Chains A and B, each alone.
Chain A
Amino acid sequence: MNVDRITEKLNILADAAKYDVSCASSGSKRQNKDKGLGNASNGICHTYTEDGRCVSLLKILFTNVCIYDCAYCVSRKNNDIKRASFTVQEVVDLTINFYRRNYIEGLFLSSGIFKNADYTMERLVQVAKKLRLEHNFNGYIHLKSIPGASDELMREAGMYADRLSINLEMPTEEGLKLLAPEKNRQDMITPMNFLKNEIILRTEEKKLFKKAPMFAPAGQSTQVIIGATPETDQQILQMSDQFYKGFKLKRVYYSGYVPVLSDSRLPALNTAVPMVRENRLYQADWLMRFYHFKVNEIVNQDNPLLDLDIDPKLSWALRNLQSFPIDINKADLQMILRVPGIGVQSAQKIVAARAFGKLNWEQLKKLGIAVNRAKYFITCNSPQYERRDLTGTAIKQYILAGSQSKYIKNSTIQLNLF
């Protein structure tokens, strides 16, 4: 093994892959087979980057050579950077050796497009195939599907990978036209549709024949870059909603644009990464997927942008004060889930625990709810509750003031520590 050469390749091709934020390794049920290596059922984050993101998979590009020139991408054809390409065997060796040391859950392999879509996709499939068939590797494999690759290759990819993803890149077709004029949204939607149908078909098959092979058991996901083009949060979340429903996507990832290139079509180089906005989009996405919120309850014509200073659930509650306060000892689970400061687990515990007796503030606090937020929206087994008829603005100020002081307290502790 030429250590220096591999190290250089890994540096270049990991660096180029890092802007793809999806890193999940959950959702698969692949078991260890015949005493082989690994399984893919846990979704563990083995470490976290210094920017606080989960590191679960070896996330690399097969190559950063690309025939396209997408404005937002560091690997674009006309960007003057060092290029490198792995061989199939090199990726296989890295994956196996990292996995054996418990560094990773598996591999996330993406690639620049060299020659053409099929040629590129073929390499990615070869890596997955080799891992599965020659090394009996049962860890997690996420392959990027290259738009325009043949159905045959897509199908083969699904046989070996746990998850497949095709990035929409931009929330809207107009955005894509502006920044990646050579690309075509339809080329992304066609394979998504193909995979959706294939996954449904194979799942049906698996129900009938237990032995039928798995097909992309962790489903498909996509990513959109936010902040590079002027879409509103309403446009973005409606797009997500439509793709969750229409294509049965497991996840939509939102990647705040990191200004790496200077181009008149893009935000200037010194623009900050929209991290708060990105976080709010994820929170909104969670509300849709786990809290049964409808997209137009979160964003709509009157509120096309998410609040940056408060989370979307609190935001919704403040716009709908007529629905509160609710009695925590009587309200149904769906409504409890909508209370700011109460998460899914706490909500379920509340419903289980109140069968034994009515709950008071002390007990609610113990159950893990953020009373300083929730107190404006609930009553419980206590004569104390928020009696003032507060406006939404007032509540927001109280809550923000509360969390502000908490923040200041924390930071003085930090000052003492470092």
Chain B
Amino acid sequence: MTTLIYDGTFEGLLTAVFEIYEHRLTHVRMQKGEWHNTALFENVIKVVTENSRATRVLKGLKQKLSAQGLQRLYAAHMAEMEGEDDNLVGYIRYVFDAQQNIEEDYGNKYVMRVSEIVRMVRREKHRMEAFVRFQELKDKTFYSAIEPDFNVLPLLIKHFRNRYADQKWIIYDMRRSYGLYYDLHETQYISLDFATVNPGNVISAYDDHEAVYQDLWRNYFTSVNIPARKNTKLHLRHVPKRYWKHLTEKI
């Protein structure tokens, strides 16, 4: 068993695959993070991300997978789900070792797992498209904080750009401390320094109408409920509690 330590990037993962084939490794384990000199195990390889190697692997993948299949693999890695790198590497190796395109070979455990990961990522992406709640700031920027289970912010760009083309907006991932900012022209990644923001300023930063519309929305949410049909179990399945703190109607 050889442990490959890599930097967590997609290029890093592809470089690792390159080394697996170069050293003809069979049993491998992926690990994200720093290389510690103190841990002198024999079977550890430190993967240094190298674009030329990553590109060669990528080229190979492009030949064996459909464009969609590659996108799915990319999204599965980007989600940063704990402990799934071994499955992703297993998947990539299966792609290369097979003669035909194996994207739909759901009987294979790696293909199945990647399809499960993609399903979970998609669901989280859809949840965020639904659960983002913008608040209008004084400068007419619409601000929203989210805490998705997986890293899905990059997957949200297209949807929100297409939809809110005529307003400035920020979607901020509190858990991963980075956000998206659309300034009516472009979307870019940003990070905010909350430590220096005075709470008083935050409230005065909201537009005067903001509280009114939040109240109206809460009122609406209460009005459309039909008590005679109450079904808490179903409600919680659709809107799990961990999302409530950013949902205007549930605060």
Measured CB to CB, the residues of A under 8 A from B are 1, 3, 6-7, 10-11, 14-15, 17-19, 31-32, 35-39, 42, 44-55, 58-59, 94, 97-98, 100-103, 136, 256, 258, 273, 275, 349, 352-357, 359, 363, 366-367, 414
Contacts and interface: CB of A to CB of B under 8 A. Distances in A.
A14 B106 CA distance: 46
B126 to A, nearest CB: 7
Given A18-B224, A44-B129, A49 B235 contact: yes
B104 A103 contact: no
Contacts of B144: 102
Contact of A366 (B105, B106, B163, B167): B106
A258 B164 contact: no
Given A100-B136, A356-B105, A46 B130 contact: yes
A39 B219 contact: no
Contacts of A19: 226
Contact of A258 (B109, B221, B226, B247): B226
B104 A356 contact: yes
6 contacts: A35-B165, A47-B130, A48-B235, A52-B233, A58-B220, A101-B248
Nearest to B247: A47
A224 to B, nearest CB: 17
A15 B212 CA distance: 19
Given A101-B133, A366-B106, 17 more contacts: A1-B212, A3-B212, A14-B219, A18-B225, A35-B166, A36-B166, A39-B163, A44-B130, A46-B131, A47-B221, A47-B239, A100-B136, A102-B164, A136-B166, A258-B229, A349-B106, A367-B112
B215 A7 contact: yes
Contacts, number: 159
Contact of B134 (A1, A42, A100, A354): A100
Contacts of A38: 163-164
- The 7 lowest CB-CB distance pairs between A and B, nearest first, are A52-B234, A353-B106, A51-B229, A352-B104, A14-B223, A356-B105, A48-B238
B223 A18 contact: yes
Interface of B: 102, 104-109, 112, 126, 129-136, 142, 144, 159, 162-167, 184, 209, 212-213, 215-217, 219-221, 223-235, 237-239, 247-250
A267 to B, nearest CB: 13
Contact of A367 (B106, B219, B233, B238): B106
A353 B108 CA distance: 9
A273 B165 CA distance: 43
A10 B213 contact: no
Query: Chain A at the B interface: mostly helix, strand, loop or mixed?
Result: loop
A50 B228 CA distance: 11
By CB atoms of chain B within 10 A, which of A36, A51, A53, A54 has the most?
A51
Given A18-B223, A32-B165, A50-B230, A94 B216 contact: yes
Contacts of B106: 349, 352-353, 363, 366-367
A10 B216 contact: yes
Contact of B167 (A18, A37, A51): A37
Given A273-B229, A349-B106, A363-B107, A101 B217 contact: yes
A126 B145 CA distance: 36
A84 to B, nearest CB: 12
Contacts of B230: 50-51
A235 to B, nearest CB: 24
Contacts of A17: 224
B104 A355 contact: yes
B246 to A, nearest CB: 11
A356 B213 contact: no
Contacts of B213: 97-98, 101
Nearest to A45: B130
A51 B226 CA distance: 7
B167 A10 contact: no
A350 to B, nearest CB: 8
Contacts of A349: 104, 106
